[in-house]
Amino acid sequence: MPVVIVGDFNIHVDDTTDTGASKLCELLSMYGLLQHVRSTTHLHGHTLDLLITRDDLMVNVLPIDPPLLFDHSFVVATVGCAIR
């Protein structure tokens, strides 16, 4: 069954010294989940807005533009889900 989790997590997953980010990555790995956003999504830096799926789904995150209307960027992606 496809699993897609999205939102503003307020965890700096791009900061390898952030203990919250380390714990989140460890938890995702434990359940076979993968975080796909690899670039800054906040006006003041850091990757806060995440797209998480099972690690067996094909995901293509489009290039992320700087924030325009709010302090967060829009994250747009395609997720391949096979219907059985």
Query: What string of pLDDT tens digits covers the 84 residues of the chain?
Result: 788 999 999 999 999 899 999 999 999 999 999 999 999 999 888 999 999 999 988 999 999 998 888 899 999 999 886 665
CB 71, CB 43: distance < 8 Å: yes
Q: How far apart are CA 43 and CA 67, in angstroms?
A: 6
CA angle 21, 22, 24 (to 5 degrees): 65
pLDDT of residue 84: 59
DSSP 42: B
State residue 53 phi and psi, 5-degree precision.
-140, 175
pTM equals 0.87
Phi, psi of 72 (to 5 degrees): -120, 150
Residue-level pLDDT at 5: 95
Can you give the pLDDT at residue 52? 97
Residue 69: predicted pLDDT: 85
